[in-house]
């Protein structure tokens, strides 16, 4: 065992450039690893920045669309207002109706629908007596009933 160690030490004393080459190789390996980590970090950072910019652009587009929608709703409200309808109707030759101009038509067989009564007095109230017993039973009661029925069998 002593002989190989001596040969190794002797080899390094004869060629000290081997140790320098190992140090240079290790340093270059470290530089390559750091460059790879830096490139990965730069890639992730650039993708994040691009995604953030796309989100900002989409949010800006949404804001513009919302503003255009609000403008259109405002235009629709002004066009459908009673004043605008009345103005357009007068321009088309229409005028407000007078009571002597009214004429009612009787349609044979027409039955006017009865108004819908939504008061609470017409809705039947459920009580414990009208609910079937299987809906009044709790889970524990049901389980107790099953266990006791199996014991009797």
Where is pLDDT greater, at 145 or 37? Answer: 37
Where is pLDDT greater, at 24 or 142? Answer: 24
Domain that residue 61 falls in? 2-89
Whole-angstrom CA distances from 91 to 84, 86, 87, 94, 101 are 11, 9, 6, 7, 20
Residue 16 in domain? yes
Where is pLDDT greater, at 57 or 99? Answer: 57
Q: What is the pLDDT of residue 87?
A: 92
Whole-angstrom CA distances from 93 to 36, 86, 87 are 81, 11, 10
Residue 142 in domain? no
What is d(CA 79, CA 86) in angstroms, rounded to the nearest whole number? 11
The answer to whether the CB of 137 falls within 8 A of the CB of 129 is no
Residue 113 in domain? no
Q: What is the pLDDT of residues 25-81, one digit of tens each?
A: 999 999 999 999 999 999 999 999 999 999 999 999 999 999 999 999 999 999 999
Residue 145 in domain? no
Q: Number of helices (H) and strands (E), helices first, in the chain? A: 4, 0
Per the prediction, the chain carries an average pLDDT of 85
Q: Which residues contact 4 (CB under 8 A, 6 or more apart)?
A: none
Residue 139 in domain? no
Q: What is the pLDDT of residue 75?
A: 95
The answer to whether the CB of 136 falls within 8 A of the CB of 128 is yes
Residue 85 in domain? yes
The residue among 34, 37, 57 whose CA lies nearest residue 45 is 37
Residue 150 in domain? no
The answer to whether the CB of 84 falls within 8 A of the CB of 78 is yes
Residue 147 in domain? no
* Number of domains the chain contains: 1
């Amino acid at each position: 065992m002593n002989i190989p160690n001596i040969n190794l030490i002797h080899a390094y004393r004869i060629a000290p450039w081997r140790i320098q080459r190992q140090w240079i190789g290790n340093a270059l390996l470290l530089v390559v690893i750091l460059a790879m980590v830096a490139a990965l970090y730069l890639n992730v950072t650039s993708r994040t920045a691009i995604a953030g910019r796309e989100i900002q652009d989409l949010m800006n587009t949404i804001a513009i669309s919302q503003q255009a929608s609000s403008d259109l709703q405002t235009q629709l409200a002004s066009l459908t207002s009673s004043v605008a309808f009345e103005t357009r109707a007068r321009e088309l030759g229409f005028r407000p109706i007078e009571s002597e101009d009214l004429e009612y038509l009787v349609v044979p067989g027409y039955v006017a629908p009865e108004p819908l009564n939504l008061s609470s007095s017409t809705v039947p109230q459920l009580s414990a007596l009208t609910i079937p017993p299987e809906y009044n039973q709790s889970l524990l009661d049901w389980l107790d009933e099953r266990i006791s029925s199996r014991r009797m069998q």
